[in-house]
Amino acid sequence: MRSKGCARGLMAAFAGWMAGAVALAGVAVTGGTPKIIITSPSAGSHDVDPSVAEITVTFDRDRAKGCSWTGGGG
């Protein structure tokens, strides 16, 4: 189905963007990079139901105050 393929593509793009954003924020704020220890749906999943309404990310430590996941650039 096209909708499942689209959902997979969006999940993969979001996971890659998120990993980059988290790495940059972690280095700037804490002097180290927070590590993602689990995501739901699992990062890289190819069978994500298009009706999934929430993505959760668990880090190995608390994130610093003021840290955001906003994008920037192209």
CA distance 46 to 55: 15
pLDDT per position as a tens digit, 31-64? 577 788 999 999 889 999 999 999 898 988 887 7
Identify the residue with better confidence: 26 or 66.
66
All structural domains of the chain with their residue ranges: 2-59
What is the value of pTM for the model shown? Answer: 0.45
